[in-house]
Amino acid sequence: MRCFYAPETEAHDPIFRLTHGKVQRNAELPERARLLLAGLSQLGLTPEEPFEAPDETLEAVHTPDFLDFLETAWDEWQALPDAGPEVVPNVFPDRSVATYPSHITGRAGWHMGDTSAPIGQHSWRASRRAADCAVAAADAVLNGAPAAYALCRPAGHHSSAEIAAGHCLLNNSAIGAARLREGHDRVATLDIDVHHGNGTQSIFYDRGDVMTVSIHADPTSYYPWFVGHSYETGLGEGLGFNLNLPLPRSTTDDVWLDTIAKALDAIAAHKPGALLLSLGLDAHENDPLAGMKITWDGFRRAGEMIAAAGYPTVIVQEGGYLSPDLTKSLVSFLSGFMGSAK
């Protein structure tokens, strides 16, 4: 399997995070990439550095205002009196009556949905290169590879067309799916991160050519809180092409795997030419975010099931946080996927 990773992404090293009223160290740390790279090494997989993808690949998913904000925000923030080291919003708009602001403080609130995706000096370059990994993996599959893996960080599936949130800046999965769409009439995304892929859902919600399916912890008691319910099924041409399968935080392997089987049945009915898998590993029982109770064997079996579906598949890394188990979680999933794909 071809794999892609850009070392520049390690320069994104966010500090700020607000949890239950406490300022804490951000969970999206460079060490995540090193743990995942160790997993690739154990599997004998050597990642390639991706080419720099054209701007059009980002513009297919994100608005010009958002892309401009991500690129320029840190420099503008540093010009503020007594500025902190990262862009962190302190005010958010009521969009029903809002006008797009010109000041950086207002733009931060407009383009950032929460305080968990701070922008530092190197965040734009890192997120840009993470997106390059997703595009390179999509191009590998479009050129005939049965599957490719993109080790992207920061993650992306919580970012919508113009709002970053949940440790995410550019939506790598949506960018990869849009790239796959250039070679296929229909594409499907399957998100197995423990958090709902709300940004990906938002981007494709009114489209019938990209089906979005997400299996995640029930948002009534878990991030992203406001979306991810089973009754969200799409709008307009997208009606019926968004499927959410929320599960209790107590979910263990068998129920999770049965839900993946249900998701794959729904995807089969869509008849996509390719699949974009948003691979979160944070459903593991020992992940520090404690969202579900999936074991390494569960990840292995999930990999087997998804590979057996037989789609040309782009795997984009989403969550999975600092734990000595993260390396083995990736090894378990990819071992199952590659074993079944052989």
- Please compute the mean of the pLDDT values over residues 283-287 and round it to a whole number: 87
Q: What is the pLDDT of residue 340?
A: 62
Provide the domain count of the chain: 1
Q: Tokens 């840009």 sit at which residue?
A: 128
Q: What is the pLDDT of residue 287?
A: 85
Q: What is the pLDDT of residue 285?
A: 87
Residue 323 domain boundaries: 2-52+120-341
Domain assignment present for residue 209? The answer is yes
- Please compute the mean of the pLDDT values over residues 4-15 and round it to a whole number: 96
Q: Express as a percent the part of the chain with pLDDT over 70.
A: 99
**Other C-beta atoms lying within 10 Å of the C-beta of residue 234:** 19
Q: What is the pLDDT of residues 205-246, one digit of tens each?
A: 999 999 999 999 999 999 999 999 999 999 999 999 999 999
Pairing of strands 16-19, 22-25: antiparallel
* pLDDT beyond 60 at 204: yes
Q: What is the pLDDT of residues 176-201, one digit of tens each?
A: 999 999 999 999 999 999 999 999 99
* pLDDT beyond 60 at 90: yes
Which tokens sit at 27?
């969970």
List residues bridging with 315 in a β-sheet: 149, 277
Q: Express as a percent the part of the chain with pLDDT over 90.
A: 91
Q: Distance between CA atoms of 1 and 229, rounded to whole angstroms?
A: 34
1 CB-near residues (< 8 Å, 6+ apart): 45, 145, 147, 148, 149, 334, 338
Domain assignment present for residue 101? The answer is no
Query: Any idea which residues carry the catalytic annotation?
Result: 158
114: left (phi over 0), alpha (psi -120 to 50) or beta: beta
Residue 77 has what DSSP assignment? H
Q: Provide the whole-model pTM.
A: 0.96
Domain assignment present for residue 310? The answer is yes
Q: What is the pLDDT of residues 237-270, one digit of tens each?
A: 999 999 999 999 999 999 999 999 999 999 999 9
Domain assignment present for residue 146? The answer is yes
- Please compute the mean of the pLDDT values over residues 124-148 and round it to a whole number: 98
Domain assignment present for residue 61? The answer is no
Domain assignment present for residue 258? The answer is yes
Domain assignment present for residue 218? The answer is yes
341 band by pLDDT with thresholds 50, 70 and 90:
low
Domain assignment present for residue 62? The answer is no
CATH assignment of the domain containing 196? 3.40.800.20
* pLDDT beyond 80 at 342: no
User: CA separation (Å) from 238 to 157, 186, 201, 205?
Assistant: 18, 12, 10, 6
18: left (phi over 0), alpha (psi -120 to 50) or beta: beta
